[in-house]
Chain A
Amino acid sequence: MSPEIIKVLLVEDDLGDVELVKQSLKRSKLHVDLDCVIDGQECLDYLRRVGKYKDASKPDLILLDLNMPKKDGRQVLLEIKADPPLRRIPVVVLTTSESDVDILKSYDLGANCYVTKPVDFHQFSKIVNEIAEFWFTVVKLPDHRGA
């Protein structure tokens, strides 16, 4: 398998976390093209190529934080999974919350997996890379790029 560039959309309002994810992926063997939006509304605009995102391409994976200003992660999840062209994009909920309610709610809304961010950066980095590896090397995804 030739090294492909994988497109990941990170939906995260905390710039510190954005940086940590970036740093983690930088240390990955995978070629990841990371785009970031800072709230739910931006995320949906991006996915639907609205306004300044009219040239945006569809991501292969979405890393979604739950607690954000404006439209939060739950609302975004609901809209993505209700939108046929978008629903096939795997969504990984990446959050600090360990709340059972958040976990159950996320899966109910169609999250493909739910991951809690570890405090330790090394562990965090490891998890981010494992997520990327899992979704792009282990899991067989629908080929939407040509579609």
Chain B
Amino acid sequence: MTFRFWSPLRKNHKENNEDWVSRVLDAALDAIIQIDDQGRVIEWNKNAEVVFGWKREEILGMFLSETIVPAQHREAHKKGLRHYLLTGEGPVLNKRIEITALHRSGKEFPVELAITPVHLAGKLIFNAFLRDITGHKRAEERFRLVVESAPNAMVMIDQTGRVVLVSAQTEKLFGYSRQELIGKPIEMLVPGRFRPQHPGYRDDFFAKPQIRPMGAGRDLYGLRKDGTEVPIEIGLNPIKTEEGAFVLAAVVDITPRKAFENQTRDFTKNLEEQVKQRTLEINRQRVAALNIMEDANEAKKGLEKSEREEKRRGEELARSNKELEQFAYVASHDLQEPIRKIVGFTQLLAGDFEDKLGHESRVHMDFIVDGAKRMQALIQDLLQYSRTGTAKLIFRATDLNAVVAEALSNLELRVKETQAEVIYKDLPTLKANKIFMVSLFQNLIGNSLKFRSEEAPRIEIDAKKTDEGYEFTVTDNGIGIDPQFAGRLFVIFQRLHPKDQYEGTGIGLAVCKRIVERHGGRIWIEPGKGKGSMFKFTLLGR
């Protein structure tokens, strides 16, 4: 029967072109086996001999289930055959299946198999095409192991986006078991918000497959079974197989890296902020320093300028001082010589002619002598006044209580004569020239003693602190000063009273003014309480 099937083919060929058919069958890359409806081998090509170790002559007529079907599949094989014969249904028919086969040597090996039932002249026969896929399997296993042993999660999908392979790391990363993932769309691992675009990206990749990182420039996230997301990085590897194109995705959990990046970014940001702040600070300081330098330069320039001016003024002053000294000397010596002659010889004459001169002549001679003496006093006062303005002053901490005491000691005789009372206490100590201070108080007190009223002079000296130093008040109970003369009061040689009433050249207050001004203060008079005068002056509180 089998021959009937095969005979027409082979026999015909044997008769007509037997060699050609034989050659076709034998040249086929696959093992080609024909069995009848009982499962007996009716054809066995050359490759089948190689794959299973059975010669054609040996196996023809033998049951397949007793030769190449391993023991564990024999029952299923028989059942399947019976089931097909009864129902015409055969789930394993007309498709590519993988199954374990048995070599004649007893060794089992994987084969790829496709079985096609053929009805031929009322007879049912099965054509089977088999291929030893041991090599494939080994490669596949190796591939699986490689994928499995990868330190990161590996997911392989086919062109339709279904998961075909996952590694243990994938299970760990996403929380799904292998079984839950295989055959499912990869989009189940993509967060909802990215899901709509994903198939598009996928198609793009399959259209132009190349090894590349996924989602360049985008932050990628994976969706876990528990609904949480995990930051990931994905490397895409296109894999071409006979079964079509696949994509192997290497998925890396970048949570630690993200954390590190965030930390680094925070740190960097912090650092940048610090650098910025510090830079600002430095800039501020530099600006401040520059300002200071500028100010310093300005000040230096100013100083140099003022130093030059100071020097020029100093030279001028030195020259004028020199001239003044010259003048002072002339005044103190040469101008007085003639005066002394006038006085001396007038007095000599008056003595010589004492008996011969009339009263009038003696009065005239007295006028000569007085005038000359007055001239001498003026010269000396002028000299004193000019020295007050130009003398080099040394300023030291000076106790003004001691100063007033010294002034009073110098005026002792007149104080006693007039029975004057001078009241002062708690005067400050300040930086001043002591000699000038004594002169100042002596002149003021002397002034009060000179212009006394009929009462015994009572002079009060007070000091009160001001912002800049002190304000002093010297009040007396004397004859007072007519306010209309206040302006002339401090001008040299200005006298408010006739010479015969009060002696003196009118130098005292002018000297006071100079002394006060050389100490950075000013002097003025104020209307006193009742009669008497009130002098006020200020001194810097240095």
In the complex, A108 has a CB within 8 A of chain B: no
Contacts of B346 in A (CB 8 A): 121
In the complex, A57 has a CB within 8 A of chain B: no
Residue of chain B at shortest CB distance from A67? B333
In the complex, B144 has a CB within 8 A of chain A: no
B349 CB, min distance to chain A CBs, angstroms: 10
Contacts of B343 in A (CB 8 A): 119-121
In the complex, B305 has a CB within 8 A of chain A: no
- Whether A96 lies near B337 (C-beta < 8 A) is yes
**Of listed B332, B333, B373, residue having the most chain A CB within 10 A:** B333
- Whether B340 lies near A122 (C-beta < 8 A) is no
Proximity bits, B332-362, A CB within 8 Å = 1, else 0: 1110110111011111100000000000000
- Whether B333 lies near A122 (C-beta < 8 A) is no
Contacts of A75 in B (CB 8 A): none
- Whether B348 lies near A14 (C-beta < 8 A) is no
Known contacts A119-B372, A119-B376, A120-B373; decide if A16 and B332 are in contact (CB<8 Å). no
- Whether A119 lies near B339 (C-beta < 8 A) is yes
- Whether A124 lies near B340 (C-beta < 8 A) is yes
- Whether A121 lies near B348 (C-beta < 8 A) is yes
CA distance A16 to B262 in the complex (A): 112
CA distance A106 to B347 in the complex (A): 30
Proximity bits, B315-333, A CB within 8 Å = 1, else 0: 0000000000000110011
In the complex, A133 has a CB within 8 A of chain B: no
Complex interface residues of chain A between 113 and 130 (CB less than 8 A to chain B): 117-122, 124
Contacts of A121 in B (CB 8 A): 343-348
**Of listed A17, A67, A98, residue having the most chain B CB within 10 A:** A98
The main secondary structure of chain B at its interface with chain A is helix
Count of chain B residues near A, Cβ 8 A: 20
B327 CB, min distance to chain A CBs, angstroms: 12
Contacts of A99 in B (CB 8 A): 328-329, 332-333
CA distance A137 to B49 in the complex (A): 174
- Whether B340 lies near A97 (C-beta < 8 A) is no
Contacts of B340 in A (CB 8 A): 16-17, 20, 96, 117-119, 124
A129 CB, min distance to chain B CBs, angstroms: 15
- Whether A95 lies near B333 (C-beta < 8 A) is yes
- Whether B337 lies near A120 (C-beta < 8 A) is no
Contacts of B329 in A (CB 8 A): 97, 99
B347 CB, min distance to chain A CBs, angstroms: 4
In the complex, A23 has a CB within 8 A of chain B: yes
CA distance A116 to B345 in the complex (A): 18
- Whether B337 lies near A20 (C-beta < 8 A) is no
Contacts of A19 in B (CB 8 A): 345
- Whether A124 lies near B332 (C-beta < 8 A) is no
Known contacts A96-B332, A97-B329; decide if A124 and B337 are in contact (CB<8 Å). no
Complex interface residues of chain B between 216 and 249 (CB less than 8 A to chain A): none
CA distance A17 to B339 in the complex (A): 11
A74 CB, min distance to chain B CBs, angstroms: 13
Proximity bits, A10-31, B CB within 8 Å = 1, else 0: 0000101101100100000000
Contacts of B339 in A (CB 8 A): 119
Contacts of A120 in B (CB 8 A): 343-344, 347, 369, 373
- Whether A16 lies near B333 (C-beta < 8 A) is no
Choose from B332, B334, B348, B369 the contact partner of A23 (Cβ within 8 Å). B348
Contacts of B332 in A (CB 8 A): 96-99
Complex interface residues of chain A between 59 and 105 (CB less than 8 A to chain B): 67, 95-99
- Whether A96 lies near B345 (C-beta < 8 A) is no
CA distance A14 to B339 in the complex (A): 13
Contacts of A17 in B (CB 8 A): 337, 340-341
Q: Could you list some 16 contacts between A and B, CB below 8 A?
A: A16-B340, A16-B344, A16-B345, A17-B337, A20-B340, A20-B345, A96-B334, A96-B336, A97-B332, A99-B332, A99-B333, A119-B336, A119-B372, A119-B373, A121-B344, A124-B340
Other than the known A96-B333, A97-B333, A121-B346, what 5 A-B pairs have Cβ atoms closer than 8 Å? A16-B337, A17-B341, A96-B334, A96-B336, A118-B340
Q: Which 4 A/B pairs are nearest by Cβ-Cβ distance?
A: A121-B347, A121-B344, A16-B341, A97-B333
